[in-house]
Structure 1
Amino acid sequence: MSNIVEAFSVRGPLAIAVYVLVVLSWWFIFEKAGKPAWWSLVPILNYVAFVDIARKPWWYVLLMFVPILNFFIYVDVMMSFSKAFGQDGCLFALGLTFIPPLFLLILAFGDAEYQYGYDDYKAKRKNDYAESV
């Protein structure tokens, strides 16, 4: 019984601290991207906004719930997500994938700026449509 108490006495507060840092990171990342920050607290809606920030189609959210495929989709979204904040390296995207608390803190509280504005996004969509016609 004492081993259980010892395990939770150290890991519990540490896990709570990491969770709070991750929630704060997402909050500030959403603000940087021009999304309502409270969206980061709502399940599923935060995935939709996350995929939108990365400029991926909305149905990527559905693919994130498919086993095995979700890993590859997540890495792809993280690559675009890191590019959306000016981090072009593959290593940064892999860091976001495998060590998210640390790399989310870097994005949230570092000098990374969101690269796409709403007007850029609208223009890109218009150009994509014009090229497809």
Structure 2
Amino acid sequence: MNNEAAMAAAAGSMLLFSVIGLIVGILVIVSEWRLFEKAGEPGWACIVPIYNAIVMLKIGGNPWYWVLLMFIPVINIIIGIMALQGFLKAYGRGDIGSVLLALFFPVIYFPYLAFSKNVQYVG
């Protein structure tokens, strides 16, 4: 394989992964937008950094100042999982299985929560 063919293959691979990443990113944004609207919050809040976390904490019934704890290494992991659990509880899904699904398969689980008629915001 010559150098030009290798460069073309690398460029094609980068383009493919970029398009897949863009599609996944749009899917996650649309899903979060819908989840925020189900909770009575403005959907656009999901695309504003830091305010997104504050709104998620609010939906989950957690104090807003936890967002400050998310800037501390190691503690941010614990607070993030606790915030995610509170967020999922607001939709009736706060058990450990749901948290693990949201952590490891968010691209599948968040659209399910957002677009399923079986999932409602319970507060």
TM-score, normalised with respect to structure 2 = 0.88
Root mean square deviation, CA, Å: 1.2
- 1:114 alignment counterpart: 121
- 1:80 alignment counterpart: 86
The partner residue of 1:54 within 60, 67, 70 is 60
- 1:126 alignment counterpart: none
Query: 1:90 Cα deviation (Å)?
Result: 0.9
Aligned equivalents of 1:67, 1:51: Cα separation in 2:
19
Unaligned runs of 5+ in 1: 117-133
When the two structures are aligned, how many residues end up with a matched partner?
116
Structure number with higher relative contact order (C-alpha < 8 Å, ≥ 6 residues apart)? 2
Query: 1:4 Cα deviation (Å)?
Result: 2.5
| Matched-pair identity in % | 34
TM-score, normalised with respect to structure 1 = 0.82
Query: 1:14 Cα deviation (Å)?
Result: 0.5
- 2:45 alignment counterpart: 39
| 4+ runs deviating over 3 angstroms | none
User: Which stretch of structure 1 is more off in the superposition, 96-105 or 35-44?
Assistant: 96-105
The partner residue of 1:92 within 84, 91, 98 is 98
